[in-house]
Every structure is written in structure tokens, then in C-alpha cells.
Amino acid sequence: NLSGNHDTHAQLLGDGVPRAMTESLNKPDAVTTRFAALGLVNLTAVPDNQPSVLEAGAAALLIDLAAGEPRTWVDLDDDGEEEDEDDVDPLEAASATKKRKRSDQAQHELELIEQLGYDLGCRRYACLALGNLAAVMDNHDSLLEGGVLASLVESLVVEDLETRFNAAYAANKLAMRDSNHARMGEEGCIPPLVRLSGDKDTNARTQAISCLRRLSLLAENRLEVVECDGLVPLADAATVTDLETQREVAACLCNIGLSDKNRVPVVVSPALRPLMDLCQSSDVETARLSCGAVANVAEDLMTHRTLLFKANAMHTLVYLMRSKHLSVHREASRAVSNIMSTEAAHAVFLEEDGLRSLFFIARSQDNECQYNSSLIYRKLSPNLVNHDLIIAKGGLQPLIGLVQIRDVRIQRLACVALWYLSSNKDHKVTFAQEGGLRSMIAVAREEDRELQIFATGAVRHLSLNSRVKRPIVDEGGLGPL
């Protein structure tokens, strides 16, 4: 009780309470051990107290308790001393009188200990104290060497919800350090976490998904999540109204989609439609992560038709490309740029008024948005059917602006798109009049060889039109040639 008040901690530490509590963890009596573990939960909640707790050797004992180390119920006599069964009348011991001496709560706890073989409170508090210790990454090595993962894996699958939650909390804290991910995967943390992520309790579920999200930063772990059928509970969790759960689901799916082997399984799983709904979340972080997840899976061409025609993803993403939030329209444009690798997506993009969104992104000051827009232009431009609409809608000016940006990645993509557009015999004059000719002549003077090739090629395309020949000379086109 005293340790529940943080103002007392300095004196408790100075008077050796952590060591006394640690020694009490070794007692066979369940109640003594339970309150010692609870006291350590209160002390370890403050990071500055943790060195004293660890120096007392509490970690190893807490790990054993978290694994369900056996404890017994000890009856006390009227003087508070442990009763000696040898001094009790056999007839009394065999009668219901003995049972009636205990309160209903004590009798219930005794029966529960006998049923489980361990004290439920001890295990709950031990997992929670380990979670507090794991919140400080400097403690991770000693906890891992002490076998904490094996204890947590066992606690993640027990029937008691509070124990599962506390174990997931501790595992999540251990997953904060990237170097722990491989070991946690190897020691079997993922299957019980996947199981817990389907729990109906929102808090336990969110802790499990958060831990999976961190573990999925490692390729081997995210593959195992899918192999363990983790997409099904994630799909279910995506439909809950709790904002924190939605964020964790979106982030977890975003990480899972980083692996090639996972991309098709994601789009054919029940998680796809809830993921598209999360893309439209009013919460910026949820929307950003969800769009990022779609962009990741869209890097596989095999996912495109499902995204286009079953999930109606283009409609959602084109709209989100005009979001007022930079982080959202950046990820939405990345997703669209990936999907545009499939020619069938072009018509859908144009039908959804995608050019309006494209022009908006092309004028962004964000480098990634500029790159994504130039990539979309690059994928649209080889298709002659798209040229009329691009030019009629005013698409040349944003594209010319992209080729002038001092980033060779963006310049190359934009220059190739202009090279394709300049080849269209119906638009050569318009191309030259709107500044495309002047831009290509300027780019032809760049030091980058690839830019020189495509810019010179665009000038060659334009030179086939008699109305553009003289302007090529007047604009100084002979110099770079």
C-alpha cells in the first residue's frame, strides 16, 4: 500500500524495501508472494527505482512467477501464525467446520490455487512488473537472459484475460528494441500474439497488435504473421471504433505489406475492405498508415486488378490525393503511382478525375509528392489514348514544372513523359507553344546523359512538324544539338 504512493518511494528504497519484497517473492505462501509482486509493480512503475529492484534479484523471481510457479494457500490461526495440521483434530479437519472458518473469498482463492497450481494474482502482477522493467531498454538484456520470453509466451495463452493483457504489455515493451525482434520470433512469440489479436477485449487486442506491428519490421516475422493466419484477426480489429486499435492495425498491415510474399495474401484476405475504409479515416495517422499499406501491397502487379475492381481502390485514392494533409496525399499518390503500372488502371484513373488530383500533387513543394506525380505522368504517357485528355485538361504546365525541379530522379521521369507527349502528331504545336520546346532545349544542356537523350529526342519529335522547325532554331535548339 505504501509503494502505491510515489512520495514514499525514496524512503522505501533507502530502507531496503526492494530487497525485502524480493525475498518475499520466494515465500511458498500465495498471499505473501502476491502482495510482494504488487509492491514491486508499484515500485517499478518509476524507472529511477528499477536499478534497486534489479540489484535485489527480483527479475529472475518475477520471471518464474510469470511462468506460473506453484504457490500454496497457508491457513493462519487466531494469532496469525501458520496452522500446524498435526495439531488439528482429525475429525475437525475432515468436517465442513474447517471450510467454514475461511471467508468465502479465501475459500474461493484456495480452490482456484488448487485448480491452477499457481496463484493467479502472483502471475498477473509478475507479468505487469516485468512489463514495467521492459519499458526501459537498458533492462532488456538481463530480462532476455533470464528467460523472460518463455514465461511471457506461456502467459499469453492462459485463460485469464488480465494475465494475457499484462503479458502482451511486457512483450510489447520488449519489442520496442529492434535487436530483440529476431529472438522474439524464434522463441515463439508470434502465434500467441496472433491469437490474442483476435480477442474481444479491446485493450488486450490492441497490445497484441501493437507488438505484432513492431515485430513485423523484421521480414521473417511478418511472413510468420501471415502464415499464422494473422490477417483474419487484423481484419476484424480494423472494424472496431477504438482509434488506437485502428492505428495499430493500419501500421501493422503497412509493415506486413513490405514483403513480396505477403502482398497478394493481403488483398485476397478479409482485411482489404476494412483497410480501404481506414484510408478514409478522419484521423490523419490512421489514414496515412492505411494508404501506406495499400501502396506497399500495390508494388505487386498481381494485386492491381483486385484493388481496382473489387475494392474500388482508385476511387478512394484519387480523392485522398487531394487531401489537405501532406502525409495522407503523399501516401495516396504513392499507391496510385504503383497501381498505374497496370494499363487497365489508366481508364479508371481518368474516369475518377485523377488528372485533377495529379495536377494538384505535381504542384506540391514536397519532394516525395513531386516524385510520385512525375511517376504517374511517366506511366500514363506511353499510352497515346491518354494524350488528348492530359493536354486538354492543362497537364503540360505541371509536367514542365516537374522537369525544372533540381532532382535528377524527378527530372528523368518528367522528361520521359514529355518525350512521349512530344511524339503525338496532333499536339506538337501546342507542346511547343506552352513552353515544352523551351524546356526540352534547356534540359538538353544538362550534364546527365539520360536527360540529354530524352530531351534531344523530344526536340527531334517536334522537328517533324514544319510549324515548329523555325521556333527550334529561334529558341537556341541548335546549340545543344
pLDDT (tens digit per residue) in 365-408: 999 999 999 999 999 999 999 999 999 999 999 999 999 999 99
Torsion of the alpha carbons at 310, 316, 318 and 319, rounded to the nearest 10: 160
Q: Is the pLDDT of residue 276 over 50?
A: yes
Backbone angles phi, psi at 45, to 5 degrees: -65, -20
Kindly state the average pLDDT of the residues 333-337: 98
Q: Is 95 left (phi over 0), alpha (psi -120 to 50) or beta?
A: beta
Share of the chain above pLDDT 70, in %: 95
**If pLDDT is split at 50, 70 and 90, which confidence band does 109 have?**
confident
Say how many Å lie between the first and final Cα of the chain, rounded. 86
* Res 333: pLDDT: 98
* Res 85: pLDDT: 55
Indicate the residue type of 403. V
Find out whether 188 and 153 touch, Cβ atoms under 8 Å.
yes
Find out whether 358 and 332 touch, Cβ atoms under 8 Å.
no
**Closest listed residue to residue 304, CA positions, set 291, 315, 313, 293:** 313
Q: Is the pLDDT of residue 244 over 70?
A: yes
Rounded CA-CA distance 117/111 in Å is: 10
Share of the chain above pLDDT 90, in %: 89
Q: Is the pLDDT of residue 156 over 70?
A: yes
- C-alpha pair distances (Å), 205 with each of 22, 190, 212, 234: 31, 13, 11, 10
Q: Is the pLDDT of residue 293 over 90?
A: yes
Kindly state the average pLDDT of the residues 10-27: 93
* Res 97: pLDDT: 46
CA 421 and chain centroid, separation = 40
Which neighbouring-strand residues pair with 82? 76
Q: Is the pLDDT of residue 320 over 70?
A: yes
**Closest listed residue to residue 381, CA positions, set 437, 340, 353:** 340
Mean pLDDT of all residues belonging to the chain:
93
0.85 exceeded by pTM: yes
Rounded CA-CA distance 154/424 in Å is: 67
**Closest listed residue to residue 462, CA positions, set 390, 412, 381, 430:** 430
pLDDT (tens digit per residue) in 49-108: 999 999 999 999 999 999 999 988 887 766 566 666 555 555 555 444 454 466 777 787
pLDDT (tens digit per residue) in 191-224: 999 999 999 999 999 999 999 999 999 999 999 9
* Res 107: pLDDT: 82
pLDDT (tens digit per residue) in 251-274: 999 999 999 999 999 999 999 999
Rounded CA-CA distance 4/6 in Å is: 6
Find out whether 269 and 235 touch, Cβ atoms under 8 Å.
yes
Backbone angles phi, psi at 76, to 5 degrees: -115, 145
For every residue of 251-320, DSSP letters joined together read HHHHHHTTSHHHHHHHHTSTTHHHHHHHHT-SSHHHHHHHHHHHHHHTTSGGGHHHHHHTS-HHHHHHHH
Backbone angles phi, psi at 73, to 5 degrees: -90, 130
Rounded CA-CA distance 229/227 in Å is: 5
Rounded CA-CA distance 370/368 in Å is: 5
Q: Is the pLDDT of residue 143 over 70?
A: yes
Find out whether 210 and 171 touch, Cβ atoms under 8 Å.
no
Backbone angles phi, psi at 109, to 5 degrees: -65, -40
More confident residue, 187 or 113: 187
* Res 92: pLDDT: 54
* Res 200: pLDDT: 94
